[in-house]
Chains A and B, each alone.
Chain A
Amino acid sequence: MRRSLLFVLMLLVLAVSALVAQDLTLPMKSGSVKFAVIGDTGTGDKHQLAVAKQLAATRAKFPFEFVIMVGDNIYGGNSARDYDRKFAIPYKPLLDANIKFYAALGNHDDPSERYYKPFNMSGERYYTFKPADGVRFFALDSNYMDEMQLKWLDEQLATSGSEWKIAFFHHPPYSSGETHGSNETLRTQLEPRFVKAGVNVVLTGHEHFYERIKPQKGIAYFITGSSAKLREGNITQTELTAKGFDSGYTFMVVEIVGNDLYYQAITDTGKIVDSGRVQRVGKVEPTPNRTAQPVVATGGSDKKTPSKPVK
């Protein structure tokens, strides 16, 4: 009898410790900048709803103030019903709580989405916003990176001070995805600008999985394209991956405290699949191989999930 009790007790302890291990571990400091990241969301199906539900549940523990959308916000048509079914209804609890969403355009998005007020794009295909002192976001339209947009980006980056500079757009410049892979034509245009101006973090989607890329030229790259769609087993083994997860639907939560940016990737069932920290080094002069505000290697376990070998 005693042995049985002891066994049950041990099981309980193990279960509790497992739960604790999966709980949010961000600093959760008051006054920090807290946000979530979702990508490739606009399906209106049960997977989007499951992620949306988990996102809302996570906010009860981690009160993020806004959500970054990295594109493919509305798949298929663009009728009022589509906007409702694929955005307004799934995220209703967050919208009701006055959580702001900031969208970038994906290849499945009609550019007219920029006029949809809840996307906070101010009628522009690319825009910048500053949610708090010391942090600036740059939303880009990676579908159409023309000279006008690049000029705008150069100007915005040049006038941005010594803030955290976070760019977000749809197509990943680095990716281990079998379906798409790195978008090198885009990278050729953006990376030198990011390095020169000291962009710290780049958030993208398009690939239907989660991947944290090993810092490239001092910049941390994340792919969060599985907030409603999933390509299981699509991550191939490359030297780029710091952490990959392609067997479940995910979103990210992020917290910026001073020179540290903490992140966690969470599944629709609430399991934490990646966590760590991006540390920003103080302002330094840029060199050809070093950004103006380099990040050091991201923390967190750099362990790969089982993935397909390179073909």
Chain B
Amino acid sequence: MNVIRLLVVAGVACALSSAPAAAQTAAPKPPAPKISTATKEKAAEQNANPDALVLADFQKRIDAYMAIHKDAAKDAPPRKETNNPAEIKAAQDALGAKIRAARATAKAGDIMTPEIQNKFRRVMYPVVTSPAPQGTAGLEVKKDIKEELKENSEERKEEGGKPVVLKVNATYPNDTPLPTTPPQVLMNLPKLPEQLEYRIIDKNLIIRDVEANIIVDFVPNAIQ
């Protein structure tokens, strides 16, 4: 009886001592797919891949945004080379104001819907977070991407620029450095028109209108 009790105690002690170590080394689990019922039904109806439908929906929403952007650009001062920097800023501000007015009721998630956000997190996971076999190029690249993202965050704090407010239609602060987006991340994300770009702010992914300098929408905690 005593022997059994001793074995149980030893077993519990082993489990307790190994648990924190395992928790420290384990990479976060990949995000589980979260596809809406409507998309699932549509996929079944069309015999299509639900993920493909999610990406098609993203494209449709980006196209709708670009229609607004192009419409606003028609009435804004033209973007052209100039010796007068005031004209550049005026064109940017005017375009930003027109897009904001046209999207006055826009809110977070209008473009990056919950299922699109989930898809993006799933796309980002293998590029940045998932464990790669030791000694492979993948491991090194992931390490470099993580370092780069960490460095971007640190630099933004060091340089003392204004914090980036994660809010649809917010201006990206002029005095805040733009974090580089690792090429490996860009290659795995859906392509954007040249007027838009992806930037990673801490763990969040934003879509920024380059010409209007505004945040179009974002994915909170895109990096797990």
Residues of A within 8 A of B (CB): 75-80, 82-84, 107-113, 115-118, 122-123, 142-148, 150, 171, 180, 183-186, 188-189
A-B contact pairs, 7 of them (CB 8 A): A78-B89, A83-B85, A109-B178, A112-B92, A115-B82, A116-B88, A184-B140
Contact residue range for chain B?
Answer: 35 or more
Chain B residues 77-130 with CB under 8 Å of chain A are: 79-86, 88-89, 91-92
Inter-chain contacts of B141 with A (CB < 8 A): 184-185, 188
Q: Is the CB of B186 within 8 A of A144?
A: yes
A76's contact among B83, B175, B179, B187, by CB below 8 Å, is which?
Answer: B175
Q: Is the CB of A117 within 8 A of B81?
A: yes
The reply to whether the CB of B169 lies closer than 8 angstroms to some CB of chain A is no
Q: Is the CB of A143 within 8 A of B180?
A: yes
Residues of B within 8 A of A (CB): 79-86, 88-89, 91-92, 140-141, 144-145, 148, 151, 155, 159, 174-175, 177-184, 186-187, 191, 194, 197, 210-211, 213
Q: Is the CB of B86 within 8 A of A189?
A: no
Q: Is the CB of B81 within 8 A of A123?
A: yes
Nearest CB in chain A: distance from B96 CB, A? 11
Q: Is the CB of A144 within 8 A of B181?
A: yes
Q: Which residue of A lies closest to B199 (CB)?
A: A144
Q: Is the CB of A180 within 8 A of B151?
A: yes
Inter-chain contacts of A112 with B (CB < 8 A): 79, 88-89, 91-92, 210-211, 213
A115's contact among B79, B155, B197, by CB below 8 Å, is which?
Answer: B79
Q: Is the CB of B187 within 8 A of A147?
A: yes
Q: Is the CB of A189 within 8 A of B81?
A: no
Q: Is the CB of B174 within 8 A of A122?
A: no
B177's contact among A108, A115, A150, by CB below 8 Å, is which?
Answer: A108
A76 with B174, Cβ < 8 A, contacts A110-B213, A147-B186, A185-B182 known:
yes
